[in-house]
Each structure stands twice: as structure tokens, then as C-alpha cells.
Amino acid sequence: MKIYIKFLLLIFLSVNCSKNSESIETQSVQNSHNDNTEQNQNINTDNSEQNENSNINNDENSNSFKKIISDNYDNENFKFGATLNFYQFNSNVEDLFLSEFNYLVAENSFKQSIVHPEPNIWNWSRVNAFIDFAKKHNLEMRVHGPIGPQSSIWAKTDSRTKEELSKNYEEFLIELCKKINNEKNIKWMDVVNETIDKNANWTSNKVGSDKWENPWKQIGENEDGIPIYIIKSFEIAKEYAPNISLVFNQHAGMEPKMWDKVKETVLYLRNKGLKVDGLGWQAHLRDNVVLSLNKEKLDYLKSLIDWAHQNDLDFHITEIDYRMIGDSPSNLDYERQANGYTNILKTILSRRKNGVVTYNTWGVCDKNEPSFHEYKYIYDSNLNPKKAVELLKNTLKSKDFQVKLYD
């Protein structure tokens, strides 16, 4: 009897242990499931937030300059871009550029003063950085102003001989052309820059080495009175950069006498069998020099674009900015600036049916330094869009090319 009771007791204990074990195992599985569920909820939440952020980014991108242009314009006949400085790489300025633009100009990094400032000194680091950047982000790029007044102190020194100057700029331009010719992202090059002043004189050298001057002019002129460096530059570009569209880039304003000389020079180069594919105008605007707000000036710009297209030349706005006068611009000042930028855009777009036109801002955002604050670009120093961004984008969308005049 005692044995029978012990046997029943063992069975009872065994059943309870089994139940407890099952209960513990079940609870463990449930806890495990709850942990996974919580993880899944967190993942779903994160994905939801990520998707929401992605939608925000997509919405922003849908209103970017590059998206608006892609949706509304022939990419072969019209480009819209901005200029980056080498020191803006890996910054929020770079981020803003990439979100808005796909046409790039390197500010000064391809110039003689940077790459080959004097004999036996070469520095390709900035050039390589911009080429790599354009490749990485699939950007079209224009090489800006290798030969012009922005030359090195060595070149500006009064004791430089013609032979020294010729050797320096020729070997520099040959190597530059060879380097860029097969780069698929590089489409254009401003072969020469700022060659003629507003009074129709050749920009030339000045006494001293600290002034805005063009030392290459002292190499001499040919029998027709054309500076040798201009002719030689286009000869080199034709031979060593046949894949690049070659631009004759000009500064100043809408002075007919100056532009007549530019036209004569371009046609002269063409008649010598040289390759000139485009005409560029910098378009550095000033609020105290009413140019882009004036009907007569804008009409002259139209005629200049028409002349370029009639002569099978692309027309490029290469460095547009609009400098404000004084500190703390008012809302009215910003509105004038916005219309100044936009009137130039409207003018070139109104002529795009007849040939290629491009528009490039000479920077992305204002510079804010303790001793100097510029107000000339379309984004402020905190990367906030100004009124100009709104008007430019509205113009691109609406295709309303009626200009706003103030004078």
C-alpha cells in the first residue's frame, strides 16, 4: 500500500513539473515573440520615418532647378548651373549644389595661377578633385578661364620677358587641354577670358604685380593687330582639346563698341580656321549699374544672342551674380536683385529656339566674413533661398518671359 501511494505521488510530481516546464517554455517563446514584435515595430517605425523623410526629399528634389529643367526643357539646348569653390567640397554648400544643379563650373581651379604659376611648378590637385567630383556625381562641367588677367604674381612681375611668358602659358595650356580632352563630363572651356575692356581696348599689363592686369598681352600682336596669345590659345585648344566646346568669354556690360570688337575677333579666329564654338558673357551685375533692369540693355543682349546663333555659336551666361550696394538690403533691394537675375534668364530663354543657351551663377551662396559681407548670390550665407530662387524657378516653370523693368 505504501509503495502504491509513493507511486501515485511520483506521477503527480512528474505531471506538475511537466506543466511548469511547458509553462516556462511557453512564456519564453511568448517573450521571444514579443521581443521580435517590438523589434519589428521599431523597424517598421524606422522604415516609416525613413519613407516619410524620403518623400520629403523627393518633394524637395521635384522642385530643384535640375528637376524643373529636366521636366520642361530640351537638355541639349539649355543648361542651368552654378559655380563651386574648391574649399566648398565636403560641406553643406556642396550638399545644396548637388540637390539643385547638375551643371558645374570650377571657380578658379583651372587657371594658370593655380596649376602652373611659374616655371617648374605644377599643381593638378584641384583640377583632379573637380574632375573626380564631376564623374562621381554625373555632372556636366565647364572649365573656366585658364588664360586671362587672373594670372600668377610671377607672370605679372614687370621683368618677365615675352619668351618666358610664352613658354609658361603655352606649356600650361597644352597640358591642360591634353588632360581634359577625353573627360566625358567636361563639355566646355573658356579658352580666353576678359580680353577686351569696355572701351574696346585689349586688356593689358600694368606696372607692378598687385593689380588686375593681363600680362600675356605684352607677348605682342600679329600683323593684323590681334594679340598673339589669343590666337595661340585657340590654336592649342583646337589641336589638343578637339572634343571640348571652346568658348570666347567676355566681361563688362552691354557696350556696343566693346562687343563689336569681340565679334570681329571671333570671326577673325574663325577665318583663320580656328575652332570657336561659343560666346560667353560673365554678367556680373551691380544694383547701382542698371543693366538687367533696363529695356535698352536687355534688347541689346537679345541682339547679341541672335548674332551668336546666326554665326553658329552657343551663347553662355558664364558668371552671373548681382551685387547689392550697402549693408542690410531691404525687401525692395532683394526684389530688384531677383528680377535682375530673372530678366537675364528670361532673355536667354526667349532665344533658345535658335541655338544653345546656358546660365551659370558665379557661386551658390553669399560669403559671410567678419570684415566683408556679400549679398550677391541667390542663396544667403545660411543657405536659405532668396527671392531670386523663387522667381527663377517660377520663370522656368511658367515659361513667362516678360521682363520686369525698373528703368
Closest CA to 286 of 276, 297, 271, 273: 297
Strands (E), 324-400: 357-361, 368-369, 372-373
Name the DSSP class of 102.
Answer: S
Is residue 75 helix, strand or coil? coil
Radius of gyration from C-alpha coordinates of the chain: 31
Contact 213, 224 (CB under 8 A): no
Task: Give the dihedral of Cα atoms 231, 233, 235, 240; nearest 10 deg.
Answer: 180
Long-range pairs, 201-207, Cβ under 8 A, ≥24: 202/227, 203/148, 203/149, 205/156, 207/158
Pairing of strands 140-143, 186-193: parallel
What pLDDT tens digit does each residue of the chain (407 aa) get? 444 444 444 433 343 433 333 333 333 333 333 333 333 323 233 333 333 333 334 445 889 999 999 999 998 999 999 999 999 999 999 999 999 999 999 999 999 999 999 999 999 999 999 999 999 999 999 999 999 999 999 999 999 999 999 999 999 999 999 999 999 999 999 999 999 999 999 999 999 998 899 999 999 999 999 999 999 999 999 999 999 999 999 999 999 999 999 999 999 999 999 999 999 999 999 998 989 999 999 999 999 999 999 999 999 999 999 998 777 899 999 999 999 999 999 999 999 999 999 999 999 999 877 667 779 999 999 999 999 999 999 999 999 999 999 96
Closest CA to 348 of 405, 286, 246, 279: 279
Q: How many angstroms separate the CA atoms of 201 and 359, rounded?
A: 27
As given in the structure block, the three cell numbers for residue 314 are 552657343
Is residue 306 helix, strand or coil? helix
pTM attached to this predicted model: 0.85
For residue 249, with 0-12 CB atoms within 10 Å meaning exposed, 13-18 middle and 19 or more buried, which class applies?
Answer: buried
Q: How many angstroms separate the CA atoms of 149 and 293, rounded?
A: 29
Domain ranges of the chain: 1-62, 69-398
Q: Could you give the C-alpha distances from 118 to 160, 178, 347, in angstroms and in order?
A: 11, 19, 41
Q: How many angstroms separate the CA atoms of 66 and 386, rounded?
A: 18
User: Could you report how far apart the first and last alpha carbons of the chain are, in Å?
Assistant: 122
Contact 107, 83 (CB under 8 A): yes
Contact 178, 236 (CB under 8 A): no
CATH class name, domain 69-398:
alpha beta
**CA 277 from chain center: how many Å?**
20
